[in-house]
Amino acid sequence: MNQQGNALLPVALIPAYKPEPCLIQIIRQLLASGSFAGVVVVDDGSGKAFQPLFRKAEENGAVLLRHCTNLGKGMALRTGLNHIADAWPGSVGVVTLDADGQHLAADVVEAARLLRLHPRALVMGCRTFGGEGVPLRSRVGNVFTRFVTRFLGGVRVSDTQTGLRGIPMSFIPALLRLRTTGYDFELDMLMRSKQHGMRIVEFPIETVYTPGNSTSHFHPLLDSAKIYWVFLRFNLSSLAAALMDYAVFTFCFMGGFGIEGAMAGGRLISGAFNFIVNRHFVFRADGHALRPMALYALTVVLFAAIACWGIDVLHEKAGLSVLMAKVVMESVLYAFSFVVQRDFIFAPPSEPEPFPLQEAPVLSENRTR
């Protein structure tokens, strides 16, 4: 079905697993606001007991999509995004929100407004975690994830796990290719926005928490592990290259090539491997390879020179063995090397707005970098 009415308006998407009755009120408020071309609800395998509630959602004007079993929030979002891209191809995008009533209708409408103002930016309705009533696991989890997101992913956002987001229609195909299926999908979305050079437009929202956060289906151990795996996989190539470099360095040094010769051998082999993997699988950089290759080679030479100097100092002055000094120096230089690759060598090109846009009052507006 192709729905062209209200083409410029976004579509609201609500992934729902065993939702609260307030879902019906949310649907009514969104449709009555006139800010949405439609509302799509995805039943993520909630079971027979919840079918009367979902039928009522349909009766109140929502489009209902069903999973026969629980597949995870990420899969529910992908199902909804795919349907919306097909049924509303002319829409500006999608506004996602949770089904537990934690997002107020006024904030959802504001997300829709900002998405129309910034049709090529990722809009984030961000919670403030300093107030009373915020669950401890939400506060602590956000602080840690925000730090890791900024350092490893280069994405600066004040609320990494918010479910209230405005997603441009042009961004949906990239999201449908993601393999994450649970809560980690939303973090993966931030990583992919970095790779696309997208802006992030934040605005503050009021979040309603139930006592103990009991309506949340977030499982702290399992879902947190999945979320942080998103970060870990971005660094596996660097770990593999480091092990390769250390093995070649050790072999060459024990063979009598000296520190400089061993360093050159290790960097030559591990550097070629790391460049290919980082370019195509970690940072997924597009375009010509000549410029990043030249910058990467320069970086390898510079960091190798610094490492050689540091190994000499640690060996001669601190009495460390050459192999132990190598481990210390590479550990120190790792973070700097990662940032240089992320922000300079494989940095995505800026993606400008298609036309001048009116400025909107926002909490912050950052390029993901």
CATH number at residue 133: 3.90.550.10
In a domain, 362, yes or no: no
Of the candidates 187, 174, 6, the residue with the CA atom closest to the CA atom of residue 87 = 6
In a domain, 364, yes or no: no
Q: Which residues of 32-58 are buried (b: 16+ CB within 10 A; e: fewer)?
A: eeebbbbbbbbbbbbeeebeebbeebe
Q: Are residues 126 and 223 in the same domain?
A: yes
Q: Are residues 206 and 253 in the same domain?
A: no
Q: Are residues 276 and 241 in the same domain?
A: yes
In a domain, 277, yes or no: yes
In a domain, 127, yes or no: yes
In a domain, 95, yes or no: yes
Task: Please state the pTM of the whole predicted model.
Answer: 0.69
What is the end-to-end Cα distance of the chain in Å, rounded? 39
Q: Are residues 16 and 162 in the same domain?
A: yes
- Residue 203 pairs with which residues in a beta bridge? 125
**123 lies in which domain range?**
11-233
Q: Are residues 220 and 301 in the same domain?
A: no
Cα separation, 180 vs 303, whole angstroms: 35
Cα 45 to the center of its chain, rounded Å: 25
Please write down the long-range contacts of 306-315, taking CB distance under 8 Å and 24 or more positions apart: 306/333, 307/263, 307/333, 308/259, 308/260, 308/263, 311/259, 311/263, 312/259
Q: Are residues 261 and 335 in the same domain?
A: yes
Beta strands 93-96; 38-44: pairing state: unpaired
Written as one string, the DSSP assignment of 291-308 is HHHHHHHHHHHHHHHHHH
Cα separation, 305 vs 282, whole angstroms: 25
Per-residue pLDDT of the chain (369 residues; tens, 9 = 90+): 445 445 589 999 999 999 999 999 999 999 999 999 999 999 999 999 999 999 999 999 999 999 999 999 999 999 999 999 999 999 999 999 999 888 999 999 999 999 999 999 999 999 876 656 566 666 666 676 677 677 666 788 888 889 999 999 999 999 999 888 776 788 889 888 887 888 999 999 987 765 544 445 445 455 456 556 655 665 677 777 778 888 888 988 898 888 888 888 888 888 777 777 666 555 555 556 677 788 878 888 898 899 999 999 999 999 999 999 989 998 888 778 777 776 677 665 544 433 333 333 444 455 444
Q: Are residues 172 and 59 in the same domain?
A: yes
Q: What pLDDT does residue 242 have?
A: 79
In a domain, 369, yes or no: no
Q: Are residues 328 and 285 in the same domain?
A: yes
Cα separation, 36 vs 112, whole angstroms: 8
- Residue 366 pairs with which residues in a beta bridge? 200
Cα separation, 51 vs 328, whole angstroms: 59
Q: Are residues 272 and 290 in the same domain?
A: yes
Please write down the long-range contacts of 264-273, taking CB distance under 8 Å and 24 or more positions apart: 264/304, 267/300, 267/304, 269/244, 269/245, 270/241, 270/242, 270/244, 270/245, 271/241, 271/245, 271/296, 271/297, 271/300, 273/240, 273/241, 273/244
In a domain, 1, yes or no: no
